[in-house]
Structures are given as C-alpha cells and as structure tokens.
Amino acid sequence: MKKMIYKISTVLLSVLLLVGVVAYKESAPLYADINLNVAVQNNSDDLTFNVKGNIDNSGWYYYFKEITLNYADNSTKTLQLTINAAQNTVNTGINWAAINSETSFISADMNSGSVEFNCKISKGDLGNVTSITVDGKTIELNSTGDSGDNNPVTPQAPEKTPDTEGKITIDGTVKDWINVPAINVENDTDISSMKMAMDTDGNLYVEFEGTAPSEWYGNYQWKQFVIKSGDQTKTMQIANIENKAFFNKAQGNSAAPYYVEFMIPASQLSEPFSVELGGLTVNSIDLPILNGVDATPAEDNTYKGITIDGTFEDWNGVKKTPSICPSEAHPDCLSETAMVFDGDMVYIYIKEGAWRGAYQAGMKSNGRWEITTDLGRHIVFQFNETNTEVSGLPGISAKHVGAEWEIAIPADQLPLYKNTINLGLYGVDADSPAPFITGVANLNGSKGPAGEESPIVIDGSYGDWTNYPSGYYEYAGDGTQVDIIDSLTSITTDGKTMYQYVETEYVRHLGGISGIELTKAIHIRLNNNDNYIIEPRIIDIDDQGNIGWNPTLEGLSPGTYRFGITDTSSWTDNITNIPELEAVGGKFYGYMYLTIGADGKNKCEFSFDLEKAAEHVGIKADDITMVESNFGRLGNQWVATTGASSGPVLGIVLCLLTVAAVYYFNNKKKKTI
C-alpha cells in the first residue's frame, strides 16, 4: 500500500473540504461515483476536519470540491483541492494565501481508492471569516458543535407562502409543470419555452424546452445559468448542475422536442436574487411558489378524436398493437401500430423501433404499407426515403416527430369493404406478414358500401363481381408500383362451374402488349395437386360453335372480345367445331369475355366446367374439394375457392354463388388473405 504523507499549510487544511464531487473524464460521464464524507468539529478556537471514503481510481478522473470562506465584509474567497486518481496525487490550488500556515496531515491509499484526510485549522489563522460553505452547507464560526453525521447544519430560510399548486420532480417528463406559467423567450432560438418556480423551502426549479434536430443534439446542456445576489455572481453550465434531467425525443434525424429541468437548492441562493438564462433575466420575487402538491394530470385514455398535429396524446384512447418488422435485417425498425376509422378519415399511428424506421420497413425495405378490406381490396401508401413524408394517396397527411408517426387518409380513398379494414406492410408473397391490425370498423357503426353478392353471368359486363371477395396476382412479389395492385381477381363456384374475374392495370412488364396477360399461361388446379393441373387454351368460337384455333390474343385494340376455352391437349387442326371436339374426347369448358380498356385497365371473366375438369384429370367430380387458378403472366400465385373438408364441391351448392372462402397461394406455400 502506498501512503502519501503531505505536510501542508493551513490553506491546504481548509482546502480539504473541497474533496471530490465533480469529476472530469474525456469521453466519460461528467460526474464520477465517489463516496467521501466530511465531518466537521467546530471548536471554540479551531476547526477539525476528518475527510474519508472511496473514490474511483480506474481512470483519468479529477475530483475537486470548492470551499467558500465567507468574510464579515460580505466578500468571499474560494479554495480548491484536486485529486488525480490515476496519478496517485493530491494537489492544492487556488488562493493559497487566504489563510495562514499551520501543520496538518493528509494520507491516501490511491491504489485501493481509499482516502482519508485529517486536519485542524486555527480560527485565528482564518482571519475575519464568519462562516464556511461546502456542498451548499454553511457553518457559522461563532458557534460550537459537532456535525456528527457529516452533514453540517445549514441555516433554514423562512418558509415561503405558496400561490401555485404543484410539486416538481426532476425526471425530464415535465408534465408536473402544468400549473407554472411559461416565460416568453425571444433572444435564444434554441429555447421555445421556459418555466421557473420555487418551493416553500426556497429551492429554485427551472424548465426549458425546444426542438432537437436529431437524437445527437445536446447544445442545451452547455448553456450558461447565472445567479446574481447583491454584488455576488455565480455562473455555471447546466451540465455541471447536480440535480438535472435531459430528455431528447428526437430519433435519428427526425426532429422532436427536448426537455431540460434542474433544481438549485436554497442553500446556494441568497434572496432576493435574479437568474439569467437564454438571454432572459428573471427576479426571484416574480416567481410562483409551489405548494408541494403534485398537480400532474392523470392520463386520459378516453378517445376524443385524432388531430394530426404531432403531439400524439390523443392516441392514448386507441389500442396499440406490438408490431415487428418481418425483415431479418431490421426487425426492430418498428415498435407498435394503431388505427381508428371515424367514418370521415382513417387515422394511423406508427411508433418506430430503435433502428431505421417506417420508411424502410418490409421484406424489401421499401416502406410500403397497405390498408386491406374484408373484401380483399387494397390501397398502398409509402414513406419517402427522407422519412419525413407519406405519399401514394390523394389527400393523405402525416406528421413525424421523433419515433412517432400519425397519418390521416380520407375515407373516400378506401377500396370497397363490407364491414372492416386492416393495416399492414405491403406484400403478397408467401413469406409476407399478416396485417398488424385487423377488423377495424367504422366508429359510427355504419357498414361499408359493399352489398350482397349477385348471381354471376359471363357476358362481359363485370358489374356482378363488385361485392365478391378478392385475391390478387403480383408480378414482383410485393408489387412494382406504389399505388396500383398489379392485378385483382375474384373466384367462386356454384358446385358445377367455376367462375373467375381478373383485372389488371399493369402491363408494362409485358412490353405494353395488351391481351396476352389474360389469355395465356393460365392454369387450373384441382385439390391443390400438381398432378391435376389443366392448361386452358383460348380459342375463337362463333354462335354456331365453329372453332378458330389461333385467335389474335395480343396487341388487341380497346374493346370487348368473346372467346371459348378448351385445353392444350384437345387441340387439332382437323376439328372445326365443338361437337367434333367432344366426339373425340376433347373438352370445351366455357366462355371468356376479355375487355381491353382505353383507360389502361384490362379485364376478363370466364366460366370453367368442373365436371369436365374432373374427367380430364381422371377423378370423380364429387372428389373435388378445391379449385385454384393461376395467371402466369401476372404472377406465380394461386387463388382458389374451396368446398368443405367433409364433402365435395359438387355436393355443396353454395346458395346463389355464395363464396365459401377465398384463399391465396404461392406456388409452393399457401397463405390466407
């Protein structure tokens, strides 16, 4: 054990009171953890000090404490003791001539961090000093006594009369400041609002706030706080104030409010005083006095409507759903979501996680989200790359503050629904996640605009498909456009015939050729069995049943066309009509109507005879339990209608084409819409 014995002057002895609270360390917390106690014996002729405890000697920490000598003429002098734990040294510094010399000793074991100081100072050597102040505690020298538990007694200021309800806790939340009036700040652009108050014990509380441009912003902690009383001035950086709290709500480069609050104990104040902060001077006599009763308002979880203003308190009444991004690269880019529909607007809340954010959520990290309906319809919106805006829908508005988003979408942008809507990430491949939020209904109780299903007639008018549930085919997995689903489809059966409707606005991946996306690469599969796949062949057919085997199917002009449906194994140039085809075992399954839209939207509807399909693959019609369809030019997904597991499709005639269920399938893996 190393022992350092120093013979020092009385100056050094009084400096012993300075022992370490404030610590400096590069790239480290401003304050180090120390445990030093000062016991003071105030005798009639001298002061005896015993200082001992432990300090952190693991690095380049500097501990120093100031002791103030208060003189009868109201002047003061300051002494300082500095301990460099890393170098095992104790140094004295400021104003050595403030007191006269006398012998005392300091001993320290710097290897273990144990420190003990013992000294005695003659009051005569202190000069005309009336009191000493350390750690905000003042000891009057015209009295005697033992501080005992190392807590010198501080004279108490007269209790103040409260005029404001409140009790401040220094924790960075600032809601307990609700009854304290704000002070207008004009000369500091970093501060948008400031509040100050005192309690009945004379402690001073200060709160100010502003906007942090990023999560790395911290200029507020280096602001100067000045206290003036009489001819005495004390200046400190907020970072060096002991009882303080900072709260920066910014995340990444998403700006958000910051909050700073701190407390100056009454022992460091002498009234009347004034304080200066942010170019503003405030007098103590003008400050509200808090009565010590907590006025923090209780959280109101009653839903009262949503306003897109970036404050988010109005979301307290809406249930939040934990939401994890499905991407393994950034699963924590999301935290939770919420959605509410009041009839006029759909409101969406998204809280981002610790990494990235909503603009990079999803399997492809493209920030595309969707609202789906109970009929399988979609709308898609996207967060831009700067993570500041949302686009893709007319009338959409959004606010992004820190890690939180709130978005409003006009109800007239919703696709067709019967009762409810859902929220999730945009994606249609087999690994896409289920919606985060499902089954959100209109708060006013109104149903959606969709009515009941109509009987299907294959005639090229398409209006009877409006109220049927839909699935979709996508050429690029999670879509290649922001606001347009590649294709939409509905499929149903009456037990004997399958009916299907397909529409698409996306033909750019086909080179702009219209027609082939809905007439080629079609597959019908029975019972989810690849051995039971039929490849339809689209043919020309007139009213007399005459067949044209090679109709024009691409580059079609706008208009509606009628075709017949057989299969690729039934083709032969020797067959010219339907009776001849069926006489040799070929199959005619039904009719297709194809419309090439002048507006860029192409549609088709067709019927497909299930009895003939069963015969084609070699099973009984009664054994069909599932019928699936794939349009390979639009995507690799399968969309299906199913019967019940306890019986065949043909044995369950769903009343007037009521859909049993609509399912979505990948070519390897199925997923329910």
pLDDT in tens, 231-273: 889 999 999 999 999 999 998 888 999 999 999 999 899 889 9
Mean pLDDT of 581-605: 92
Of the pLDDT bands very low, low, confident and very high (cuts 50, 70, 90), residue 648 is very low
Please, what is the average pLDDT of the chain?
78
Most confident among 127-136, 148-157, 374-383, 532-541 (mean pLDDT): 532-541
Q: How far apart are CA 325 and CA 361, in angstroms?
A: 6
Q: How many CA atoms lie within 13 A of 400 on its CB side?
A: 19
Alpha helices by DSSP H, listed for 294-367, are: none
Given CA atoms 266, 269, 275, 276 in this order, what sign does their dihedral have?
Answer: negative
Of the pLDDT bands very low, low, confident and very high (cuts 50, 70, 90), residue 667 is very low
Q: Please say if the pLDDT value at position 224 is more than 60.
A: yes
Secondary structure of residue 339 in the 3-state scheme: strand
Bigger pLDDT: 401 or 363? 401
| pLDDT on residue 216 | 93
Q: How far apart are CA 149 and CA 320, in angstroms?
A: 51
Can you give the three-state secondary structure of 24-59, one letter per residue?
A: ECCCCCCCCCCEEEEEEEECCCEEEEEEEEECCCCC
Of the pLDDT bands very low, low, confident and very high (cuts 50, 70, 90), residue 345 is very high
Q: How far apart are CA 14 and CA 68, in angstroms?
A: 10
- Give pairs for 227-235: CB < 8 Å, separation 24+: 227/264, 227/268, 227/269, 227/273, 227/274, 227/275, 228/273, 228/274, 228/275, 228/276, 229/269, 229/270, 229/271, 229/272, 229/273, 229/274, 230/74, 230/270, 231/74, 232/74, 232/76, 232/270, 234/268
| pLDDT on residue 116 | 59
pLDDT in tens, 478-492: 555 544 567 889 999
| pLDDT on residue 45 | 65
User: How many other CB atoms are there within 10 angstroms of residue 571's CB atom?
Assistant: 15
Of the pLDDT bands very low, low, confident and very high (cuts 50, 70, 90), residue 31 is very low
Q: How far apart are CA 460 and CA 559, in angstroms?
A: 10
Q: Please say if the pLDDT value at position 24 is more than 50.
A: no
Q: Please say if the pLDDT value at position 98 is more than 70.
A: no
Q: In this prediction, what percent of the chain has a pLDDT beyond 70? A: 70
